[in-house]
Amino acid sequence: MILLFNLAEEYHEDEDSISQNLLPEYTGSAALGAVNMWLKERDHSELADLSNVQHPVGNLPACNSGIHIGCFNHLDSEEFRDVVFAQAWRIPEFVQLLVKDEMDRMFTVYTPGASRPRDEP
């Protein structure tokens, strides 16, 4: 599982920070927190954060997307997908879930509101 989203999910810019050229404040993501809580309640580990590599200048991440991954045994991928997209994401149109089940040859990309993978007609 690979969960991708816009950094606006975890960083907050207000008018003062923008006008004063200040770095956005890290606030975390309530939606990601709820997904990780759901995983922990089912005895799975949280998604690992690959987007926390720091930029060489300042405290901003070097990556401009939230990237969280996990490999799970005995996880219902459809139920997980439903949980991910049931969350109140700040910018839901920028959320993508890539799923590769054990017997799949490649990842399938899901987006909010899609009843089927993106690449199907």
Please tell me the distance from the alpha carbon of residue 4 to that of residue 32, in angstroms, as a whole number: 10
H or E element, residue 81: helix 77-85
Answer yes or no: is pLDDT of 118 > 60. no
Amino acid at 104: D
Please tell me the distance from the alpha carbon of residue 26 to that of residue 48, in angstroms, as a whole number: 17
Please tell me the distance from the alpha carbon of residue 61 to that of residue 69, in angstroms, as a whole number: 17
Tens of pLDDT, residue by residue over 71-91, are 999 999 999 999 999 999 988
| Confidence tier at 54 by pLDDT (50, 70, 90) | low
* End-to-end Cα separation, the chain, in angstroms: 23
Answer yes or no: is pLDDT of 31 > 50. yes
Tokens 């956005």 identify what position?
Answer: 24
Q: Which residues neighbour 42 within 8 Å (Cβ) at sequence distance 6 or greater?
A: 75
Q: Which residue has the higher pLDDT, 90 or 51?
A: 90
Q: Which residues neighbour 8 within 8 Å (Cβ) at sequence distance 6 or greater?
A: 90, 91, 94
pLDDT of the residue at 81: 94
Structure tokens at 107: 């990842």
